[in-house]
Amino acid sequence: MTFDRIGSSTPRIVEMALDGLSMRHQAISSNIANVNTIGYRPITVSFESQLSGIYNQDTSIDSSETQFQLNPFITYGKKQSVGSSNSSLDASTVMLNQNVIQYQALIKGMQHYIVKLHRILTHLA
């Protein structure tokens, strides 16, 4: 049984959040890899406000509907100059760790959701 047939928007919203966090992880990793590159413009990925808007629509999301796609906002910071690498590396490392924790929390929450759903469906059968 798929989640689409159940009518819950939770799995689709979590999937979009995981996609956004994955994109952010790649951006932060690129920022760390280029921390000593003079002229590199750090990348920022944001999607939370868009995801919140989708969630607040309070409607069941069908995964086949393209209108509910997440399109993260990608912005580029100012060019790095000489001597800014230590603070950039520290900040990027903190952001990367935060991103990993958010990703793991979503996975754990989704696992809990699936276990509960399985128990309900098993009880109804």
Q: What is the pLDDT of residues 20-72, one digit of tens each?
A: 999 999 999 999 999 888 899 999 999 888 888 877 775 544 544 445 677 88
pLDDT greater at residue 7 or residue 1: 7
CA 8 to chain centre: 19
Residue with tokens 């754990």: 108
61 φ/ψ angles, rounded to the nearest 5 degrees: -100, 120
pLDDT higher than 50, residue 1:
no
Rounded alpha-carbon distances, angstroms, from residue 52 to 37, 65, 114: 35, 17, 22
Q: Give mean pLDDT, residues 11-19.
A: 89
Q: How confident is the model at residue 82 (pLDDT cuts 50, 70, 90)?
A: confident
